[in-house]
Each structure stands twice: as structure tokens, then as C-alpha cells.
Structure 1
Amino acid sequence: MTQPTWGPVQQEMSDILQRHPDDVPGVVDQLTRLQEVLCRIPPLLHGNPLADFNKLYLTITENVLDRLYAGKFKDPAFLARLDVEFAARYFDALRYWTEASPACPGVWAGLFTRIPGPDARPLPSAVAGVNAHINFDLPFALVTTFDHLGSDPVDGSDQHHDYLQVNDIFAEEIPGLRRGYLDRWQLLIDTMNGDLDDWWQGEMVEYTRNVAWRNAQRIWALRHDMAALDKERRRLDNTATGLGKLLLSPFGGFLQ
């Protein structure tokens, strides 16, 4: 595995990743600290492809926290726990990469190798991070959350309702976030397209999160079979890794 190079912020990265937040405000705080450090990694600095994803992730998590404070969720304990478990998998992947551990999932490694540049573009980089986090991390975070709370991933439940409400957060945030990644000439094309780009990207997020829920139900059913669980983990990692490579290829530039 390629040795990670965080340059002058190596120790800061290691320090940040030594702990797991145990609540959503803690996740927001850790993502904020991570964003500041990521933007100081040479040679790309603020153009760091991981910083592009982390910024998006921080914005979505801040919105989740606002809704938790506002009492918008039917089962806030579920949503808060899911947020913590979800973030833990991202932080673990970063820690594995920092330590040059083979435990780092392939889908995350594919994005981390782009950190030195020079061909990483902002929107494909952010979407590649979303791919890793939703298509690979989210099903396992759901299973860990349900196991912790002693409940099951049932369609139509309060937990499922709250899970789907996060799709609304993406729908609210995607237009502003996506335009923040565009160049001036791309913004002109985006204006000509109207709401089309926002619509299809919102639809893709909803579809992907629905697939993650189904995969979580699948994993839940075999969670006590270690061999089957490991096979499912490899399958999801391989699938997400293949998609990540496509997103980070020259084809991914069309996302801009």
C-alpha cells in the first residue's frame, strides 16, 4: 500500500484520528478540525480532493444536528447513533491510511491516493467520497446502530422514516454545494440547464441511500455468520471501488 503523505500536518492528522466522537456535536467538531488540517496538506492545499468531500460531509452533518436540536426526527436516538457510527467508519478509514494499514477499504484508498494531485477535480472528488461513504460505509453503520439499539431495520418504521428524511437534507443542500465546486463557465452552463442537474443528482443520492438500506437489511440477516459477512464486505468494497475509479477517471469530469 502507498505510504500516506500528510506532509507538515502528519502529527495533527494522527492526533485528530486517535478518538471517536460519541455524539453528533462531537462529529461536527471533528469534521471541522479535519477540514482545517486537510486544507493545509501540500501541494494542493484547498484543492485537496478529500477536503472537497469533507466539506460536503460537514455541511450535511451540521444540517442533521440542526434538525436534531429542532426535534424533527421521530427517533432522535437512532439518528444520532447512526450519525456517530457512520462518521466512525470514515475516521477509521483515514486512520488506517495514516498508519499505512492494509485494513483501509479499497474504495477509500482510491480517493486517498489522489490527495497529492494533480488531476483531482472538485465535484468528482466530492462525489467519489459520497460513493465510498454511502455505498460501502452506510450499510455497516446501519447494522451497528440497530445492534446497539436492539432493534431491526424494518421498512416503514420510525427509524426508516428518519433515515429517509436525510434525503431531504441532501436535496436542500445539493444545489448550493454543487455550484460551489463549479468554475465560472460551468456555472453559466448550469444556469442554462435550470434545475435538471440538481434534480438528477438528488435522485441519485436517494437511489443510492435506498440501496444502502437494502444492503443493511441483507447484512443484518447474516451478521452472525462471519464468513458470509466478510464476503459481503468484500463485495460491497469491490463494487464501490469500481464506481469510485469511474468517478475519478476523465469521465468523471463530465460531472462538473
Structure 2
Amino acid sequence: MSDVVWGLVHRDIIDLLADRPVDVPAVVDHLTRLQDLLDRRSRPDDACPVADFNRLYLTITERVLEGLYEGFFADVVFLSRLDVEFAARYFDALRLWTDSNSRCPKAWSCLFRRMQGPDVRPLPSAAAGINAHINYDLPFALVTTFDSLESEPVDGSDQHDDYLKINNIFAAQIPSLRRGYLDEWQLLVDMLNGEVDDWYQGELVEYARNVAWRNAKKIWRCRNDRVAHEQERLRLDNNAELLGRLLLSPLGAFLQ
């Protein structure tokens, strides 16, 4: 299956995923190289939904890196570590899918399967990737980050404030990113809607990230209980899969 999915760039993607980035510049480099490989894999009549998500993720991560350089965040160590742990879960999902491993999260599998499916559209693909990465990956990335820093998720802390600042980056980038996925007729409808679409999609991302923070606190409390931890993982994976399928469905595409 995997050689069909990645085609001529299959070996290059395997080699890229074998290398784990250790800092935010390395994450940006990985995402950039992955984007190049995914674009080379795609043809005009063979859209790649992972490329649609990766393009958005790369843009947001580049803005985060700029914020780290410009002193936008109070706790640079925390934000940098979180960015690396967050990206690692995306790369791990890609690696598991490439290896045809059944442990690939269902939240991601529903998007990866679309690489061979009909009527793959850019905006639903990007939205499904955001769903998997925020609703499934992010809570666990937060827990791993706090555990490695011997800290814990506390509302109102510097770490929480920095976490919320990412919402501002999304809000600033969503309008141009979203329009880049639209067809000409969709751009006309978007123009008629004014700023409504930008506003509610920004609100959805902010809401999802707030829920991810709350889920991270729940997972943190049961992190040493293997059974409870696995129950939370399954719950989040199942929920993200259901939402991902909706986003990728004809109804989901219409609503977007």
C-alpha cells in the first residue's frame, strides 16, 4: 500500500521520517522538505490531502519560529519543546501509515486513506488534518512536554498564556490560508460573506485548542495509570476520527 501512496518519492519520505527533529528550526526544515516531496508526488489530477494540511502546518510553524526569535513568548523553553513534541506526533503518524502499521491513529488514518480516494478537496483535507493534530495529538504533546520539563499544566501560568498566544497566530493566518484552498466560485461566495467565515473558523480553532488544554489536564492526572491513559487515548482518537470523517464527507465539504 505505502509504495502506491508515495509513488516515486516513497524512499525519500521514509528517509526523512527516520530523522527526528530536535528543535523548532529542524521542525520547519522537516515540514519544508516534506512539502517538497508531497508536491512532487502530486499531479494536477491526483491531489494529495496530506500536502494540503502540511502546507498550512508549515506556515503556522514558521510564524511560531518567528515569534520565538522576536520574544513573543514568555517561556521559550516550554513553547519550543511543545512545538517539537507536537510535530513528532504528526511525523510518527506518517511513519506508521507508511509502514502499514495498525497502530496509526484512526484520527490520521481517515485523512491518509483519502490519498487514493475520489474528489479530494484542499480545504476539507486541511481541516481534517487540523482536527487530527489538535483534537488528538495536542493533548498528548502537552503532557509529554510538561513531563519532560518536570512541570504541569496550570491555568493562568506563563506556559498557558504562551499556549493561548498561538491562537493569535492562527487568527492572523487563517484568512489568507483558507482562501488559498478555495476555487474561483468559492472565493466569490467568500467575498459575499465578508469576514464571517474567517471569524467562525478562527473561533473553531480557538475552541478546539482550549478543549485540547482541558484534555491534557485530564490525561496528566491519569498519566501513570496505564488503563485510564489508554481509555483517554481511545476516546480522543475515536472522537477525532468521527469529526475527520464528517469534515471529509460531501456534507462537511459543503459546510466549509
After superposition, give the CA deviation of every residue in 1:127-156 in whole Å (9 maximum; x if it has no partner). 000000000000000000000111110000
Q: Tell me the distance in 2 between the aligned counterparts of 1:141 and 1:201.
A: 23
What does residue 15 of structure 1 align with?
15
DSSP-derived class of the 1:245 partner:
helix
After superposition, give the CA deviation of every residue in 1:167-197 in whole Å (9 maximum; x if it has no partner). 0000000000000001111111111111000
Q: Tell me the distance in 1 between the aligned counterparts of 2:80 and 2:42.
A: 34
After superposition, give the CA deviation of every residue in 1:9-60 in whole Å (9 maximum; x if it has no partner). 1101100000110000000000000001111225567731110000000000
Q: Tell me the distance in 1 between the aligned counterparts of 2:45 and 2:27.
A: 23
- The one-letter code sitting in structure 2 at the alignment partner of 1:138 is L
- The one-letter code sitting in structure 1 at the alignment partner of 2:197 is D
Q: Tell me the distance in 2 between the aligned counterparts of 1:44 and 1:15.
A: 26
What does residue range 123-162 of structure 1 map to in structure 2 within 5 Å?
Answer: 123-162=123-162
What does residue 47 of structure 1 align with?
47
Q: Tell me the distance in 2 between the aligned counterparts of 1:94 and 1:116.
A: 15
What does residue range 101-116 of structure 1 map to in structure 2 within 5 Å?
Answer: 101-116=101-116
Q: Tell me the distance in 2 between the aligned counterparts of 1:179 and 1:237.
A: 29
After superposition, give the CA deviation of every residue in 1:197-234 in whole Å (9 maximum; x if it has no partner). 00000000000000000000000000000011011101
What does residue 208 of structure 2 align with?
208
- The one-letter code sitting in structure 2 at the alignment partner of 1:87 is A
Gaps of 5+ in 2: none
User: Is 1:68 aligned to 2:73, yes or no?
Assistant: no
- The one-letter code sitting in structure 2 at the alignment partner of 1:10 is H
Q: Tell me the distance in 2 between the aligned counterparts of 1:167 and 1:82.
A: 15
Q: Tell me the distance in 2 between the aligned counterparts of 1:211 and 1:176.
A: 25
What does residue 91 of structure 2 align with?
91
What does residue 173 of structure 1 align with?
173
Alpha-carbon distance, 1:120 to partner? 1.1
DSSP-derived class of the 1:224 partner:
coil
Q: Contact conserved, 1:246 with 1:252, CA < 8 A, in 2?
A: yes
What does residue range 218-237 of structure 1 map to in structure 2 within 5 Å?
Answer: 218-237=218-237
Alpha-carbon distance, 1:115 to partner? 1.0
Q: 1:103 to 1:136 in 2, by over 3 A?
A: same
RMSD of equivalent CA atoms: 1.3
Q: Contact conserved, 1:39 with 1:46, CA < 8 A, in 2?
A: no
DSSP-derived class of the 2:117 partner:
coil
What does residue 118 of structure 1 align with?
118
Q: Tell me the distance in 1 between the aligned counterparts of 2:45 and 2:13.
A: 14
Q: Tell me the distance in 1 between the aligned counterparts of 2:226 and 2:44.
A: 41
Q: Tell me the distance in 2 between the aligned counterparts of 1:163 and 1:31.
A: 21
For these two proteins, the number of residue pairs brought into alignment is: 255
Identity value in percent: 64
For normalisation by structure 1, the TM-score amounts to: 0.97
User: Is 1:242 aligned to 2:237, yes or no?
Assistant: no
What does residue 189 of structure 1 align with?
189
Q: Contact conserved, 2:2 with 2:10, CA < 8 A, in 1?
A: no
- The one-letter code sitting in structure 2 at the alignment partner of 1:85 is E
